[in-house]
Amino acid sequence: MAFDLIIRGGTLATAADVYKADIAIRNGQIVQIGMDLGEAKRVIDASGKYVLPGGIDSHVHIAQPSGDGIQMADDFASGTLSALFGGNTMVLPFCLPAKGQSLRAALQDYHNLAEGACYTDVSFHVIIPDTTDQILGQEIPALVADGYTSFKVFMTYEGLRLNDAQILATMDAAQGAGALVMVHCENEDVIRFLADRAERNGDLVPAAHARTRPVSAEREATHRAMALADVADVPVVIVHVSNREAMEEISRARARGSRVVGETCPQYLVLTADDLEAMDWSGAKFVCSPPPRTTADQEACWEGIRTGVFDLVSSDHCPFVYDDPKGKLNPKGRTSFRHVPNGIPGVETRLPILFSEGVSKGRIDLCRFVALTATNQAKTYGLYPRKGTIAIGSDADLTVWDPEAERIIRHADLHDGSDYSPYEGFAVTGWPVTVVLRGKVMVEDGQLCGTQGAGAYVSRGLPKIG
C-alpha cells in the first residue's frame, strides 16, 4: 500500500544522529525510515535540507488575561500560526486561573479558546494561584491523572506570587501525583524595595525595569526554589534563566543530584539590558522578566547550553502590542515601567535565532539544537517518544530546514498578533521552509497550506527527568 507522504532526499537529524534517509508517513505517523521506500500519494523533496523533529516550545503565553485593561496580543489562532511558521509543531501555553476559579474550570476556558483554532498541537501547564485544600488535595492529583502533568509557581508579582510555605505545599502535592513544578525565580521583596526606591527617585523609564530586577534577586530565588524542591523531592524546571549566577546555582544543585532542569531563552542569548535604554520609551519593547542582562551573561548562557546546564531553550513568547492602549504603551505604561506589561513575542524566531547563532556560528552542533528545541522538551513534559524525535511510531511532526537561507527578521514577515519584534533587523542564517504536523503538510516552501483547527490538544504522561 502506498504511503500518504514521503519526505525524500533530506538529511535527518535527531538528538543523537545526523544521516541521509527518506521518511515514509502513514496515518499521521512515521512508519519507515530508509532509502528507496517506494510510492506515496505525495512526495516532498528535501534535498539539500535538514529534516528535523518539529520544534516543541514548552514556554509560551497565549490569550492569558493580564488585568488592568491589558490584552495579550495572541489568541490561539495567531499564536499557533506564528509558532508553525517558526518551525514548531507543538506549543505548551500556560493556563492562568482567575482569582477563586477552580483549576479545572480555568482549563475548560482555555480548551474552549483553543478548540478548532490551532495550527499546531497544544497542551497546557497550569499556574497555581493559591494553595487551598481543594487545589492541593483534589485538583492537582485529579489533573495529573488526566494528563496535565506540569504546574507553574511564581515567586514574584503581587497577587500571583506564592510564599515559601505555599510553594513547598504545591511541590509536595505535585510530587505525590508524579508531576513537575516550573518556577519563576525572582525575589519579590527585593524587586519591590528597588522599584519603590526608583519610583521615589523619579526613575520611571523602561530601563528601570532591568535595574530593579537584579541578578541577585534571580540568583537567590533560584537557590531557594531548588532547596524547597529538594525538601519536597520533586523535579523542577527553573524557567527563563538569564545569567551566570543563577546558572551556577543550577549546576551546583545538579551536581548534588537534585532533579533540576534549566531553561533559557533567545532573549538572554542576543539581547541585553541596554536594549531597554532607548530614550523614546521604545525600550518598553524589551521589557520582560527576568530582564535581558549583559554580554557576559549571554556568553554564560551559551556555556550553559553547551555544557548541559540548560536542557531547554524555549521562547517565553508573551506578546503585547507596543503601540496600543491595551499594550506596552497603555496610559499608565507610558508613565512608569511598573505598568509596562511584562513579556515579549518570540515563538516564531526562537528556532532561527538558536540555529543561526548556535549551529551556523559553530557554538553547538545540530544534534544539540534538536535536543534543546524538541527532544528534551518532549522528555521533560511527558510527550516522548510520541513527539520530539524522528522514529518509527512517532507522530510525523517534521520541519524541513534550509540551513543556507539568509533572512533579516522583520515583524512584517512574522505571523503573531503583536506589532513589533524585539529582534527587528537581526540577521539569521537558516530558516524553516516546510512544516508537517502529524503527516499533514501545514507549510510548504514558506506558504501556508494547512488549515486552522489541524492542531489538536495532546494529553501528557509524567515527566522523565534525571
Q: Does 347 sit near ligand DUC (CB under 6 A)?
A: no
Q: Whose Cβ is closer to ligand DUC: residue 52's or residue 236's?
A: 236
**Least spacing, CB of residue 288 vs ligand DUC, in Å:** 6
Closest contact distance (angstroms) between CB of 221 and ligand DUC is 12
First to last CA, the chain: 42
Region near Zn ion per CB under 5 A, out of 313-321, 396-404, 406-414, 436-444: 313-321
Q: Which residues contact 256 (CB under 8 A, 6 or more apart)?
A: none
Which residues share a beta bridge with 165?
none
Residue with Cβ nearer ligand DUC (49 or 61): 61
CB of 191 vs Zn ion, minimal distance in Å = 13
Using rule CB under 5 A, residue 438 touches Zn ion: no
CA atoms of 34 and 120, how far apart (whole Å): 27
Q: How far is the CB of 436 from ligand DUC (least distance, A)?
A: 29
Q: By C-alpha distance, which of 159, 157, 158, 183 is closest to 170?
A: 183
Which SS3 state, helix, strand or coil, does residue 260 take? strand
Task: Decide whether 236 or 318 has the Cβ nearer to ligand DUC.
Answer: 318
Task: Give the residue with the Cβ less far from Zn ion, 249 or 316.
Answer: 316
As a whole number of angstroms, the distance between CA 346 and CA 62 comes to: 12
SS3 227: helix
Q: In the complex with ligand DUC, which residue's Cβ is closer, 46 or 96?
A: 96
Q: Report the 10 Å Cβ neighbour count for 252.
A: 13
CB of 59 to ligand DUC, least distance (A): 7
The least CB distance from residue 321 to ligand DUC, in Å, is 15
Residue with Cβ nearer ligand DUC (57 or 316): 316
- With CB under 5 to 8 Å by kind, the binding choice for 229 among ligand DUC, Zn ion, none is none
Q: What is the nearest approach in angstroms of Zn ion to the Cβ of residue 171?
A: 17
| Pick 304 or 343: Cβ nearer ligand DUC | 343
240 scored as a contact of ligand DUC (CB under 6 A): yes
DSSP letter assigned to residue 283: G
- Binders in 161-190 for ligand DUC, by CB under 6 A: 184
The smaller minimum CB distance to ligand DUC, of residues 88 and 289, is found at: 289
Q: Enter the C-alpha cell of residue 194.
A: 528597588
Counting contacts by CB under 6 A, is residue 319 touching ligand DUC? no
Contact between 455 and ligand DUC by CB under 6 A: the answer reads: no
Based on the shown chain and the rule CB under 5 A, indicate whether residue 184 belongs to the binding site for Zn ion.
yes
Q: How many residues bind ligand DUC (CB under 6 A)?
A: 10
**Single residue of 236, 318, 428, 437 touching ligand DUC by CB under 6 A:** 318
Q: State the nearest-atom distance from the C-beta of 391 to Zn ion, in Å.
A: 30
213 binds ligand DUC (CB under 6 A): no
Distances (CA, A) of 275 to 256, 286, 287, 313, 428: 36, 7, 9, 21, 19
Please say which residue, 275 or 316, places its beta carbon nearer to ligand DUC: 316
Query: Residue 214: is it exposed, middle or buried by C-beta count within 10 angstroms (0-12/13-18/19+)?
Result: buried
> Which residues, at least 6 apart from 2, have a Cβ–Cβ distance to it below 8 Å?
38, 39, 40, 41
Please tell me the distance from the alpha carbon of residue 113 to that of residue 116, in angstroms, as a whole number. 8
With respect to ligand DUC, which residue has the nearer C-beta, 93 or 439?
93
Instruction: Work out the number of other CB atoms within 10 angstroms of the CB of residue 141.
Output: 16
Alpha-carbon distances of 113 from 62, 89, 93, 95, 108, rounded to whole Å: 10, 18, 12, 11, 9
DSSP category for residue 338: G
Size of site (CB under 5 A) for Zn ion: 2
Amino acid, single-letter form, for residue 182: M
Told to check if 263 binds Zn ion by CB under 5 A, we report: no
Instruction: Assess contact for 316 and 265: CB atoms under 8 A.
Output: yes
Nearer to Zn ion, 74 or 316 (CB): 316
The entry of Zn ion, ligand DUC, none near residue 270 (CB within 5 to 8 angstroms by kind) is none
316 binds Zn ion (CB under 5 A): yes
Q: Does 348 bind Zn ion (CB under 5 A)?
A: no
Whether residue 235 contacts residue 463, with contact meaning beta carbons closer than 8 Å, is answered with: yes
Regarding 289 and contact with ligand DUC (CB under 6 A), the answer is yes
How is the beta sheet containing 40-45 ordered, strand by strand? Answer: 29-34, 22-26, 3-8, 40-45
| 416 touches ligand DUC by CB under 6 A | no
Which element (helix H / strand E) includes 264? strand 260-264
The dihedral through the CA atoms of 81, 384, 403, 37 has a sign that is: negative
**How far apart (Å, rounded) are the C-alpha atoms in residues 432 and 427?**
15
Interface positions with ligand DUC (CB under 6 A): 61, 184, 239-240, 288-289, 316, 318, 342-343
* Residues engaged in binding Zn ion (CB under 5 A): 184, 316
